[in-house]
Chain A
């Protein structure tokens, strides 16, 4: 994919960079302003998870195509401790850190597709997608 953007996430300052880059890319794709905010917020939450639990990781942004749908694909990955129980981590209000426990389940609600793969001791990979709605064009 030509239009790909990879942002290293090493500190909380990178969270702001990641969501700004995500918003920029989504704006080019023609998302509505409300959707831009949803996408930026979802990126913020998963980037925050990387900083909080893994310290180091990255967010990659790319343009996705599925049939006649076009959208943004956000992948957040880290080599952190991993999530032992994904089902639990995806529950509202569950948190082992200092957060509200709304990050992952919240990000899922903000996007159209959400997938999380994690292995304890290896790391976590979150893939989220949002498609441009036709009425937005």
Chain B
């Protein structure tokens, strides 16, 4: 199932609509990394509210995605990790090191606004 990617001003918003297979996740990663250049985006929000499982593969893919997007010059925020998912990630020992997270889309946007504020390319 493809994840729709919306362009909202300087940001890209990918909101996951259903459970993702490994291939879907890798596709999302590749799409976002390339679209950041296409749309000259400053930030990327990945909304994972719908996901009820984030296993080692999903976590690793999101982490590598965020790292690649950083290398492309944009910021990434993962939003919407559910309480149960957070609990299970901690039990599993999974970390989203150096990846920004926020409660929901609104908080994610606010975080990106703060991080890219003062950027002369904005406005």
Partners in one complex: yes
Q: Count A/B pairs, Cβ under 8 Å.
A: 71
Query: Which stretch, A63-71, A74-82, A100-108, A129-137, touches the partner chain B?
Result: A100-108
A110 and B54 alpha carbons, distance in the complex (Å): 13
**How does the 8 Å CB contact mask read for B16-32 relative to A, with 1 for contact and 0 for none?**
00011111000000000
Contact A20 B56 (CB under 8 A): no
> For chain B, what secondary structure do more than half of its interface residues adopt (helix, strand, loop), or is it mixed?
helix
- Do A37 and B56 form a contact, CB below 8 Å, given A12-B21, A109-B91? no
Which residues of the other chain, A, contact B92 by a CB distance below 8 angstroms? 41, 45, 102, 106, 109-110
For residue A60, give the distance in angstroms from its CB to the closest CB of chain B: 19
Number of interface residues of A (CB under 8 A): 26
Which residues of the other chain, A, contact B56 by a CB distance below 8 angstroms? 45, 48, 99-100, 102-103, 106
For residue A93, give the distance in angstroms from its CB to the closest CB of chain B: 9
The 3 closest A-B pairs by CB, nearest first: A37-B84, A106-B92, A44-B55
